[in-house]
Amino acid sequence: MKEIYDYLKKCGTFFLATTEGDQPRVRAFGAVNIYEDKLYLITQKFKPVSKQLGENPKIEICAVDGEVHNGGSWLRIEATLVNDDRIEAKQSMLDAVPVLKNIYTVDDDITQVLYFKDATAIISSFAGVQKVIKF
């Protein structure tokens, strides 16, 4: 899981896909954290992504490290996201990514942190190398 965390941090931006009915929805994310041996991300409870995750918590993530055609790689993660309303989990995320403190607080009504469950990550490249990591 640490390797996946490091990969996402290095990329800076990654794309999370959810579903809304029968329509895929994709958006950019950038904040991740490891807390209690789980990988976490953060969003706001009033956003459509939160509603979509409430209806179907299965997601996919895609991230690209470098130029794929020039030796870079890409990462795909398939997982279920689980909501964690604990103040400690929220505080850990805010401490890990301090810029988030401009938007969120641990005791507001909008902060939502979620952790990855039953995740399978695949790192691939055009060189044919593929690495599978389950966490």
Q: Which percentage of the chain shows pLDDT scores above 70?
A: 100
Note down the domain range covering 12: 2-134
**What pLDDT is recorded for position 65?**
94
In three-state form (DSSP H/G/I as H, E/B as E, the rest C), the secondary structure along the chain is CHHHHHHHHHHCCEEEEEEECCEEEEEEECCEEEECCEEEEEEECCCHHHHHHHHCCEEEEEEEECCHHHCCEEEEEEEEEEEECCHHHHHHHHHHCHHHHHCCCCCCCCEEEEEEEEEEEEEECCCCCEEEEEC
Per the structure, the count of domains in the chain is 1
Q: List the CATH number of the domain containing 46.
A: 2.30.110.10
Q: Decide if pLDDT at 129 tops 80.
A: no
pTM (two decimals): 0.94
**What pLDDT is recorded for position 81?**
98
